[in-house]
Amino acid sequence: MISRDDIRAARAPLACFLTLGLLWGAFAAQVPGIKARIDVNDGVFGLCLLVAALGTIVAMWLAPRLDARLEQRTLPALALAAAVLFLLPGLATGPLGFAPLLLVAAGTTGALDVVMNARISGVEARRGRPLMNFAHAVFSMAYAVSALTAGLLREAGWPPVAVFALIALAILALVRVALSDRAAPLDEAAGAGAPAAGGLIWLGGLVILIGFMAENATEGWSALHLERSLGGGAAEGAMGPAILGGTMALGRLGGQALVTRFSEVTVLALAAALSATGAFAAAFAESLAMAYAGFAVLGLGVSVVAPMAFSYVGRNVGNRARTGVIAQISMIGYTGFFIGPPVMGFVSEAIGLGWSFAAMGAALLVITFVLAPLLATHHRRGHVG
């Protein structure tokens, strides 16, 4: 159980998890409106998202250097910058303006993501208490509430920039909480010279990559699928990312209980298969209700994929290797988080939006039938480091 003392100790990074959930939940619900405003097809919109993704990965790489400079001001500075910068994509009227503005906004959240996760890990180490699943559940809950609220506001006629302005006001209160951060900055050299962990890095990294790819792709395109493919309105479309965020929060809160009965690899295989089933259901849904059910099942399954992979890899490397190995699989894994939406756009443009969700389901089955068995084989060979 998470205690009040746990929350108090981690309040600064938890405020940033809330910040990112509010921003990306609102963005997901605004995708149909933003896409219509800049007047592009699925392929071009996917390319805009890819440009932003590449910038975000670079920002994640630069995050330790930024943290070394700003130190305890890093969390509040990045949270405030993200809240302000997300106003800009909502003002764009064409792809040439939208892509660079989203790149800057998303890049800021990428840097914040790295630092806030590092802060949570530091609190875990100091207190000897697991907090990562709870922190990611906080993100998912904020995402769900934000997506639903933004969808209702869009239904009422609010333009994207007005929605993001309202979110920015809410984030100002969270920035004040983030000012309480007293943690030491990241070590720039962390992981630079860590011993190689062989195939474990790539196996764990690929699991996380696929999990994040399916998660973020669904977040970014579910509203459009519900509205365009199934004829839903703005509020009905926003229910897609809202349902996904809500079920992911439930899945992450319950994920720790599963590993008391089953191994991480078993949970990974079953969760990936469950989420693939949800992706296929959403892809070929003939009604809003069936699509909602698909997104709910997808969210429950995919919610634990990345956390379980992080847990498994961390448990199967030695103390000297752990920091470096986790850093490396994070860079591989988060690539999937950022390439998911543009990949969906390219597949949608080529063969249809429904089929792009089916493609994500097929990718998830790679975890069940290829990567999870390989991880189990690796486990029998012993630890690394």
How far is the CA of 140 from the CAs of 134, 163, 244, 249, 355, in angstroms? 10, 19, 8, 5, 25
- Residue at token pair 């697991």: 130
Higher pLDDT pick, 114 / 156? 156
Most confident residue range from 175-179, 246-250, 363-367, 379-383: 363-367
Task: Give the pLDDT mean for 341-349.
Answer: 82
Task: Return the axis-axis angle of helices 11-38 and 199-224, rounded to nearest 10°.
Answer: 50
- CA-based angle 119:123:125, to the nearest 5? 115
Residues 6+ apart with CB under 8 A from 294: 278, 279, 280, 281, 282, 283, 285
CATH, range 192-385: 1.20.1250.20
Confidence of residue 126 (pLDDT cuts 50, 70, 90): confident
Residue 290 has pLDDT above 90, yes or no: yes
Residue 195 has pLDDT above 50, yes or no: no
Task: Give the pLDDT mean for 309-330.
Answer: 65
Residue 146 has pLDDT above 70, yes or no: yes
Q: Which residues pair with 297 in a beta bridge?
A: none
Ordered by start, the domain boundaries in the chain are: 1-183, 192-385
When mean pLDDT is compared across 20-24, 118-122, 134-138, 277-281, the lowest value belongs to 118-122
Single out the residue of 174, 102, 172, 181 nearest to residue 138, CA to CA. Answer: 174
For residue range 46-98, what is the model confidence (pLDDT) as tens digits?
A: 888 888 878 887 887 788 788 888 888 999 999 999 999 999 888 888 888 89
Q: Do domains 1-183 and 192-385 have the same CATH topology?
A: yes
Residue 54 contacts residue 135 (beta carbons within 8 Å): no
Query: Which amino acid belongs to residue 94?
Result: G
pLDDT of 23 reads: 95
For residue range 152-168, what is the model confidence (pLDDT) as tens digits?
A: 898 888 988 899 999 99
Residue 140 contacts residue 91 (beta carbons within 8 Å): no
For residue range 300-319, what is the model confidence (pLDDT) as tens digits?
A: 999 989 878 877 776 676 55
Residue 244 has pLDDT above 80, yes or no: yes
What length is written for the chain? 385
Kindly report the average pLDDT of the chain as a whole number: 84
When mean pLDDT is compared across 200-209, 236-245, 322-331, 333-342, the lowest value belongs to 322-331
The pair of three-digit structure tokens given for residue 343, joined into one six-digit string: 């990949």
pLDDT of 83 reads: 95
Residue 27 contacts residue 143 (beta carbons within 8 Å): no
pLDDT of 51 reads: 84
Residues 6+ apart with CB under 8 A from 180: 11, 12
pLDDT of 196 reads: 44
CATH, range 1-183: 1.20.1250.20
pLDDT of 320 reads: 55
